[in-house]
Structure 1
Amino acid sequence: MSKSSQLPQANQLSQFSSLELAQALMEKLSISPNDWHRLKSNRNVRASEQVAAALVFLLKDEPQEALLRLQQAALWLDRSISAPPCPTHGEQKR
């Protein structure tokens, strides 16, 4: 793809603030309820969610919240944490 064919996209994106773009990315990378069971243990997906959230907090001038999300992403990537079991599993239906 040539650089000139990418210009309209870049021009379209320039109408949005960095925060708006980060929020859109966070929304795009968030696991939807329909995909939760399939993706809840996918370390790259979970880390991506956390990094996008960190970017939003950083752009909102909330560095402590951003740092927490970045640390959470690192824990996913280094396999220090895993997804908790679904709270509805194991419950007996009456």
Structure 2
Amino acid sequence: MGGVDAYRGSAWLDWWTNSSLRFSTEVTVVISTSEAGWEATGRLVEDDDLQGFEILRDLDPLFSLRFADDSTIPVTVFSLDNNGAGFTLREYRDEPEDD
């Protein structure tokens, strides 16, 4: 995040099945720096996207977090809250994380 301590704003979570089929939903996110790199929480903007979001997350929690400038970060979606619209994100890594 290039020296920025926090970002709060809009972004999109994109889930791709192939080059022609994509699910995209607008989210609000709060990203802050941490010792491990960064931490993020978010919430869906449109409740109508919740059912599709939950189904796709259960199939594969890997999404692309896309910003207004079209930059992206591969992320894993964790910890849906009770109504499913709130979540935490971690940057996706090919190697398993030590917990």
> What range describes the TM-score normalised by the shorter chain of this pair?
under 0.3
Q: Which of the two has greater helix per residue?
A: 1
Alignment TM-score, normalising by the size of structure 2: 0.25
Select the structure that is richer in strand.
2
Structure index of larger Rg: 1
Q: TM-score, normalised by structure 1?
A: 0.26
